[in-house]
Amino acid sequence: MRMSHVEFIDHSISSLRHLMLANWEDSRDVRAYPPSLPPYSLYDISSLYEHLDHAVQQYFKLNTTTFGLWMYGVNQKGDEPNIKFCIRELAAVELNTSSDTYRLNTAVKSNCRNIPWDGSTKADNFSMNDFLSSQHLHINHTRFIDASLSFGLKCIHVRYNQATNYLPDCFFMQVEILFDNSKHSGKVLIDLKNALQYSTCSGDVLYAGDIISEF
């Protein structure tokens, strides 16, 4: 893969983290060993809901806020695709502090829901707590293993300074935001992963030459 593509992918991941992850800092974009900052994490149920709300709200606003040439995929009806929420939990957790006993059912229960948005509701009003209640679901902090938000975006890589090839490349980005509590330590690790693959597209480059300055 050409270096410009590697840089494009790296910048796309960084942009998505700044947009989708609440309170993401520039210093976290710097790769260092050992890391200069602790893992990006949250520690209580209210923070989990805040991060989920932020990510979903940002997704629904991407087509009006981002500088990237990103597009929602559309289905045959012309609707924008849903963002998918999945949660995994232990089947049962019982802790008895008075007798210092516990009872665990380590079977894993999984639930996934598509979060629809038709544009009629303001994105900033979205509440994950309200949405889960409407689906007869809730997040149990003692049984919680992990949760994820996943969605796809189409993107175009435009190159202005290539001497021989001005045609853009098109990609499909499969994005997943993971909230990982699998260690049950009280620290929920947050990560955003972005898998890109080439996508077929067509179009016209109306001008491929020197930059035009207009005054």
Task: Please state, in angstroms and rounded to a whole number, the distance separating the CA atoms of residues 77 and 119.
Answer: 15
- Per-residue pLDDT at 119: 66
- Per-residue pLDDT at 209: 56
- Per-residue pLDDT at 80: 58
Interhelix angle 45-65/3-20, rounded to 10 degrees, is 130
- Per-residue pLDDT at 76: 47
- Per-residue pLDDT at 118: 67
CA geometry: angle at 174 spanning 157 and 118, to 5°?
95
Amino acid at 193: K
pTM: 0.84
Low-confidence residues in the chain, pLDDT < 70: 1-4, 32-33, 35-36, 74-81, 118-121, 160-166, 202, 204-215
- Per-residue pLDDT at 37: 78
